[in-house]
């Protein structure tokens, strides 16, 4: 009865707590990103792993009060150390292999602390140490590592929710323990409460999540649960252990199968696995609800068997254990079969595809037989399409109704007001991002003959305005960590130029593909040398650097509403600046720079432009601003869906997600390693284009352009490499699941075909 109350109560509390929690998170831009289940890309969930681990430590301490102090101490130390690893991982993305080793070490320590010899009880009638004992320990060890690794299903925002669940469970357990003084009972209730709390947060995450997956942040949770299993088993004289192990056999088998497949395929086996059979079934076209239902009913059957198990003679138990294993094996086999027979893409014109991706290499030695004429999408799948939210047309209609069909009007005002609120700076709406950069260059006081620094890896519009002003660009290479301007190279360059008294007039820093450059050192350098810093955030509206919006952190920032950007007004741009008068100056220049005078005569004292945005287009931008958050979520989800779908392909890696900011993944960019992927980036682009998919290389560096021959470039090898190996995949926020699956299938197909016929 108490247990039932505990379960229901915890479920309720965590369910209710989910609402304010999600609200707070949303307010801080830490949104629930569907399909995104890894903390490594999200510095914003820095606390996720830590929260769980902290709770884990507390839980362990509680249970430690009851029994087996040494075991508990190891758990506690392990939890603390895991917190450190989680933290390092969130910050620096610790190598997966290191994490794996870490789990292994902890598993070993736990086993040792709980007493190796007792393990023998699980494996047979009084096995003594020696070969069989060692064997038993080995199996056990694998089970634990597998268990811990396999329990990675809650992470990112789900990880936070899991932390919340653990805390709720802990509270309930503590209350019970304090009230009754029965800490053994508290240990048991704890487990039940945890389950209840986890059940409570599921409704918050289930609807959006097509997959559960995750990483190290949730490993501690797995660790805790693994520990509870052992703990309960020990309490029950180990008799519970076998059934408990079987209850979780699916996770362990899952990890084992994944691991075996990877080793057999010569893939990076030590990478955290991103696909469970669960996801395979989802990818095979089964619904989220169906697969969950299937897993849960299997688990219930096993649970029933488990209870019965305790009351039957030894040989029946053995048979039952085997039966359960067979049951699970059947489940996995079903997963494989369903995956092979999955429905073909609904995209018209796509012929039935052989299931290239699941066939393990060993079952199909002759991959050449599997080459098929490539499918072709009947409608082109574009790189990045406009995606209206619905309210744009109302603002446009209002402009028509009120005859504000020029470059003044209420939409412009409203746009500037709401944009300024977003970036925290005064702003002006302009006819394009390029126009905004041009005005920024002028605001920086660039004169003919001056030099202006620009990254060489960028779109040409970043630096053309330098030429408009008769100034000279100097290009600087990118850093690998963010693909953006390398602060070290900039530092060396400015230092050397300062020594020769030839400092550039301005630096343009570009935030490519939705990711912020490493701004702190760049801002500091420009301050130090008194050089104006311009942020080209045309591709990165909505991106953040250390929780602040990019484009608002330097002397002047520019944004673009071009048709291919994350939000669009068909064409348009914004300029924002913290400096008094700069935005007004830009507005003045953008409307032909007519000097104010009472006669309204046409007085001109400096050059101006026709760069103002139309009030009609401002209406579109205004409507689009309303859906910016959603677009960011969608673009990120698309990038991570690609990443997860390609996790097992060698030599295909998502563009780095620098730990200091929020990457909108405006475009999903990948790096192709020809040696392991089998095909060059160029080859992959060609093969996708042949399938009517618009894929493109990463920007071609400016120093390699005919237009910019003869201009200085500092470094350049990184940018050239990124251009040679980088590829942008269709990333429209309106990309459908079917379309994305189609793209994914073509990429996997190209990989296998290339592997089967190298050199082609
Ligand atoms: C798109 C883009 C621009 C230009 O913006 P428009 O609004 O198209 O003029 C400038 N810089 C970069 C890096 C861009 O991607």
| 3-state SS class at 560 | strand
HSE value, Cβ hemisphere, 13 Å, CA-based, for 405 = 5
Dihedrals φ, ψ of 124, to 5°?
Answer: 160, 180
Query: Does residue 487 have a pLDDT over 70?
Result: yes
Q: Quick one: CA torsion of 548, 551, 711, 531, rounded to 10 degrees?
A: -80
pLDDT in tens, 139-154: 455 545 544 444 443 3
d(CA 200, CA 205): 10
> Which stretches within 206-287 are classed as H helix?
219-235, 241-247, 249-265, 277-283
Q: Which residue has the higher pLDDT, 48 or 281?
A: 281
Cα dihedral sign, 456-461-643-90 = positive
Tokens of 438: 């041009």
Q: What is the mean pLDDT of residues 222-248?
A: 52
3-state class (DSSP) for residue 713: strand
How confident is the model over 322-326, as a mean pLDDT?
A: 66
Q: Give the Å distance between the CA of 592 and the centre of ligand 1.
A: 22
For 394, how many CA atoms within 13 A lie in the half-sphere containing its CB?
7
Atom nearest to 571 CA in ligand 1: 7
CB 702 within 8 A of CB 708: yes
* DSSP-derived secondary structure letter, 119: G
Tell whether ligand 1 has an atom less than 6 A from the beta carbon of residue 155: no
Which residues partner with 653 through β-bridges? 671
With H, G, I as helix, E, B as strand and everything else as coil, classify residue 661. Answer: strand
What percentage of the chain has pLDDT greater than the value 70? 51
Q: 459 CB under 6 A from ligand 1?
A: yes
Q: Let me know if 565 is a catalytic residue.
A: yes
Which of the four pLDDT bands, split at 50, 70 and 90, describes residue 165? very low
Asked if residues 603 and 597 have their Cβ atoms less than 8 Å apart, the reply is yes
Span 601-629, average pLDDT:
94
> Ligand 1 atom closest to Cα of 461?
10
CA distances from 583 to 292, 313, 427, 555 (A): 55, 84, 6, 11
Are 8 and 128 in contact by the 8 Å Cβ rule? The answer is no
- Residue 267 is predicted with a pLDDT of 58
Q: What is the pLDDT of residue 12?
A: 74
What pLDDT, on a 0 to 100 scale, did the predictor assign at position 477? 97
* C-alpha distances in Å from residue 535, one per residue of 183, 436, 562: 59, 11, 17
- Are 340 and 285 a contacting pair, CB within 8 Å? no
Among 383, 433, 466, residue to substitute to test ligand 1 (most atoms within 8 Å of Cβ): 433
Confidence (pLDDT) at 162: 45
Question: What is the per-residue pLDDT for 699?
Answer: 97
Higher pLDDT, 571 or 4: 571
Confidence at residue 232, expressed as pLDDT on a 0 to 100 scale: 54
Say yes or no to pLDDT of 303 above 90. Answer: no
Give 705's DSSP letter: S
* Cβ contact 129:196 at 8 Å: no
- Would you say the CB of residue 569 lies under 6 angstroms from ligand 1? no
Domains of the chain, with CATH numbers?
2-259 (no CATH), 360-383+628-756 (3.90.1150.10), 392-625 (3.40.640.10)
**Is residue 190's pLDDT more than 70?**
no
Residue nearest to atom 2 of ligand 1 (CA): 538
Give pLDDT tens digits for 9-60.
Answer: 766 766 776 666 556 555 554 443 333 333 333 332 333 344 444 445 545 5
Compute the distance between CA of residue 651 and CA of residue 603 in angstroms, rounded to an integer: 62
The answer to whether 79 and 86 have CB atoms below 8 angstroms apart is no
User: Which stretch of DSSP H or E encloses residue 536?
Assistant: strand 532-536
C-alpha span between 544 and 28 (Å, rounded) = 11
**Choice from 457, 459, 478 to test ligand 1 binding pocket (greatest atom count within 8 A of CB):** 459
pLDDT at 79: 53
Rounded mean pLDDT of 378-386?
91
Burial of 45 (0-12, 13-18, 19+ CB in 10 A): buried
pLDDT at 86 over 70: no
- Pocket probe mutation, ligand 1, options 539, 669, 702, max atoms within 8 Å of Cβ: 539
The answer to whether the CB of 510 is under 6 A from ligand 1 is yes
Nearest residue to 173 (alpha-carbon basis) of 189, 157, 149, 159 = 189
Q: What is the mean pLDDT of residues 182-209?
A: 57
pLDDT at 573 over 90: yes
In the numeric block, the tokens 């290339």 are attached to: 754
Angle in degrees, CA 389, 390, 394, rounded to 5:
130
Decide if 415 contacts 625 (C-beta within 8 A): yes
Choose among 203, 166, 190: nearest CA to 65: 190
Judged against a pLDDT cut of 70, whether residue 91 lies above it is answered with no
Edge-to-edge strand list for the sheet holding 544-545: 548-549, 544-545, 661-662
The residue whose C-alpha atom lies closest to atom 13 belonging to ligand 1 is 459
Q: Does ligand 1 lie within 6 Å of residue 13's CB atom?
A: no
Q: State how far the alpha carbon of 496 is from the alpha carbons of 427, 491, 504, 528, in Å.
A: 35, 9, 11, 14
Least confident of 60-69, 466-475, 669-678, 706-715: 60-69
What is the CA(390)–ligand 1 centre distance, in A?
25
Protein residue with least CA distance to atom 5, ligand 1: 433
Partner residues linked to 612 by β-bridges: 430
| CA of 567 relative to ligand 1 center, distance in Å | 13
* 313: Cβ contacts below 8 Å, ≥ 6 apart: none
Q: Are 339 and 358 in contact (CB under 8 A)?
A: yes
Q: Is residue 661 over pLDDT 70?
A: yes
Give the model's pLDDT for residue 659: 86
Q: Is the pLDDT of residue 744 over 60?
A: yes
User: What is the dihedral angle through the alpha carbons of 443, 447, 449, 451, rounded to the nearest 10 degrees?
Assistant: -20
Among the ranges given (86-95, 191-200, 310-319, 713-722), the one the predictor scored with the smallest mean pLDDT = 86-95
**Which of 386, 560, 571 is the best mutation target for the ligand 1 pocket, counting ligand atoms within 8 Å of the beta carbon and taking the most?**
560
Phi and psi at residue 405, in whole multiples of 5°?
-105, 55
Span 157-185, average pLDDT = 50
Catalytic residue among 286, 505, 565, 700: 565
**In angstroms, rounded to a whole number, what is the distance separating the alpha carbons of residues 82 and 220?**
7
Average pLDDT score, the chain: 73
For ligand 1, the distance from its centroid to the CA atom of residue 666, given in whole angstroms, is 13
**Could you give the 3-state DSSP secondary structure of residue 752?**
helix
CB 370 within 8 A of CB 752: yes
Ligand 1 neighbour 536 (Cβ under 6 A): yes
Compute the distance from residue 587 Cα to the ligand 1 centre, in Å: 19
In the predicted structure, residue 591 carries a pLDDT above the cut 70 = yes
Q: What is the pLDDT of residue 50?
A: 41
- Above 50 in pLDDT, residue 347? no
Would you mind telling me the total number of residues written for the chain in this entry? 760
Compute, in angstroms, the gap from residue 356 CA to the centroid of ligand 1.
39
Q: Alpha-carbon distance 124 to 278, whole Å?
A: 32
462 CB near ligand 1 (under 6 Å): yes
pLDDT per position as a tens digit, 259-271: 666 667 665 554 4
Contacts of residues 329-334 at CB distance under 8 Å and 24 or more positions apart, as own/partner, are 329/253, 331/250, 331/277, 331/294, 331/295, 331/298, 332/253, 332/254, 332/257, 332/277
Q: How many Å lie between the centroid of ligand 1 and the Cα of residue 205?
A: 36
With a 6 Å cutoff on the Cβ, whether 509 touches ligand 1 is no
**Is 702 touching ligand 1 by the criterion CB < 6 Å?**
no
Local confidence band at 378 (pLDDT 50, 70, 90 cut-offs) = confident
Mean pLDDT, residues 437-459 taken together = 97
Q: What separation in Å is there between the alpha carbon of 526 and the centre of ligand 1? A: 23
Nearest to 160 by CA among 7, 57, 44, 278: 44
159-168, 406-415, 652-661, 678-687 — which is least confidently predicted? 159-168
At residue 448, the pLDDT reads: 96
Instruction: Using the structure block, give the residue that is written with the tokens 């040494």.
Output: 70
Q: Is the pLDDT assigned to residue 427 strictly greater than 90?
A: yes
Contacts of 706 (CB under 8 A, 6+ apart): none
Distance CA 411, CA 614 (A): 9
- Span from the CA of 462 to the centroid of ligand 1 (angstroms): 7
Instruction: Give the DSSP letter string of 447-513.
Output: -TT-EEEEESSS-GGGTHHHHHTT-EEEEEPBPTTTSSB-HHHHHHHHHHHHHTT---SEEEEE-GG
Distance 95 CA to ligand 1 centre (A): 35
Residue 300: is its pLDDT beyond 70? Answer: no
Residue of 430, 461, 513, 620 best suited for mutating to test ligand 1, as the one with most atoms within 8 Å of CB: 461
The finding on whether 461 has its CB within 6 A of some atom of ligand 1 is yes
**What pLDDT is stored for residue 555 in this prediction?**
96
Contacts of residue 2, Cβ cutoff 8 Å, sequence gap at least 6: 176, 189
Per-residue pLDDT for 423 more than 70?
yes
What is the signed CA dihedral for 237, 241, 243, 249, rounded to 10 degrees?
180
Ligand 1 nearest-atom number relative to CA 437: 10
Q: How much is the pLDDT for 598? A: 84
| Residue nearest ligand 1's atom 11 by CA | 462
Q: What is the 3-state secondary structure (H, E, C) of 434-456?
A: HHHHHHHHHHCCCCCCCEEEEEC
CB 314 within 8 A of CB 306: no
């Amino acid at each position: 009865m108490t247990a039932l109350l505990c379960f229901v109560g915890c479920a309720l509390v965590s369910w209710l707590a989910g609402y304010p929690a999600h609200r707070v998170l949303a307010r801080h831009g830490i949104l629930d990103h569907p399909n995104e289940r890894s903390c490594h890309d999200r510095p914003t969930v820095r606390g996720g792993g830590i929260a769980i681990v902290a709770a884990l430590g507390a839980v362990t301490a509680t249970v430690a009060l009851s029994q087996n102090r040494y075991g508990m101490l190891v758990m506690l130390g392990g939890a603390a150390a895991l917190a450190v690893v989680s933290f390092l991982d969130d910050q620096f993305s610790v190598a997966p292999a290191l994490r794996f080793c870490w789990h292994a070490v902890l598993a070993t320590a736990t086993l040792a602390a709980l007493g190796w010899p007792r393990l023998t009880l699980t494996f047979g009638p009084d096995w003594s140490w020696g070969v069989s004992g060692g064997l038993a320990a080995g199996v056990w060890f694998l089970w634990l590592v597998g268990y811990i690794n396999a329990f990675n299903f809650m992470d990112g925002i789900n990880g936070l929710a899991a932390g919340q669940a653990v805390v709720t469970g802990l509270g309930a357990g503590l209350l019970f323990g304090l009230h009754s003084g029965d800490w053994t009972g508290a240990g048991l209730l704890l487990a039940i409460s945890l389950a209840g709390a986890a059940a409570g947060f599921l409704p918050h995450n289930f609807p959006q999540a097509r997959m559960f997956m995750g990483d190290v942040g949730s490993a501690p949770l797995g660790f805790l649960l693994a520990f509870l299993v052992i703990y309960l088993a020990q309490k029950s004289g180990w008799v519970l252990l076998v059934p408990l192990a079987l209850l979780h056999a699916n996770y362990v088998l899952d990890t084992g199968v994944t691991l075996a497949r990877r080793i057999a395929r010569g893939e990076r086996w030590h990478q955290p696995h991103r696909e469970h059979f669960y996801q395979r079934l989802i990818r095979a076209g089964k619904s989220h609800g169906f697969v969950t239902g299937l897993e849960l009913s299997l688990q219930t059957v096993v649970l029933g068997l488990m209870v019965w198990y305790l009351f039957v003679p030894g040989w029946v138990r053995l048979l039952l254990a085997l039966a359960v294993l067979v049951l699970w094996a059947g489940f996995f086999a079903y997963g494989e079969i369903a995956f092979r027979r999955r429905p073909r893409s609904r995209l018209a014109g796509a012929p039935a595809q052989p299931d290239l991706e699941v066939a393990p290499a060993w079952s199909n030695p002759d991959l050449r037989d599997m080459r098929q004429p490539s499918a072709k999408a009947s409608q082109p799948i574009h790189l990045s399409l406009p995606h209206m939210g619905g309210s744009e047309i109302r603002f446009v209609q209002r402009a028509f109704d009120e005859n504000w069909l020029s470059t003044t009007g209420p939409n412009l005002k409203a746009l500037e007001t709401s944009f300024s609120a977003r970036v925290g700076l005064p702003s002006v709406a302009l006819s394009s991002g390029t126009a905004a950069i041009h005005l920024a260059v002028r605001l920086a006081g660039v004169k003919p003959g001056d030099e202006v620094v620009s990254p060489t890896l960028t779109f040409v519009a970043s630096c053309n305005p330098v030429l408009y002003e008769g100034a000279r660009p100097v290009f600087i290479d990118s850093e690998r960590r963010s693909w953006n301007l390398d602060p070290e190279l900039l530092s060396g360059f400015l230092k050397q130029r300062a020594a020769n008294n030839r400092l550039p007039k301005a630096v343009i820093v570009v935030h490519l593909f939705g990711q912020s450059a490493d701004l702190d050192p760049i801002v500091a350098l420009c301050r130090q040398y008194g050089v104006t810093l311009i942020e080209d955030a045309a591709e990165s509206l909505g991106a953040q650097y250390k929780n602040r919006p990019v484009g608002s952190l330097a002397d002047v920032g520019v944004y673009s509403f071009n048709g291919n950007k994350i939000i669009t007004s068909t064409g348009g741009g914004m300029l924002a600046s913290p400096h008094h008068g700069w935005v007004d100056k830009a507005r003045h220049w953008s409307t032909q720079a007519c000097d104010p005078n009472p006669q309204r005569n046409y007085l001109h004292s400096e050059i101006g432009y026709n760069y103002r945005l139309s009030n009609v287009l401002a209406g579109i931008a205004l409507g689009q601003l309303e859906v910016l958050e959603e677009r960011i979520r969608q673009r990120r989800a698309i990038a991570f869906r690609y990443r997860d779908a390609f996790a097992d392909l060698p030599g295909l890696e998502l563009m780095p997600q620098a730990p200091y900011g929020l990457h909108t993944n405006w475009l999903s960019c990948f790096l192709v390693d020809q040696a392991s992927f089998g095909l060059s980036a160029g080859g992959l682009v060609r093969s996708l284009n042949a399938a009517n998919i618009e894929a493109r290389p990463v920007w071609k560096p400016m120093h390699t352009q005919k237009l910019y021959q003869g201009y200085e470039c500092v470094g350049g090898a990184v940018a050239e490499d990124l251009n040679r190996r980088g590829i942008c995949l269709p990333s429209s926020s309106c990309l459908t699941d079917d379309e994305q699956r189609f793209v994914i299938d073509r990429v996997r197909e190209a990989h296998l075909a290339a592997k089967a016929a190298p050199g082609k």
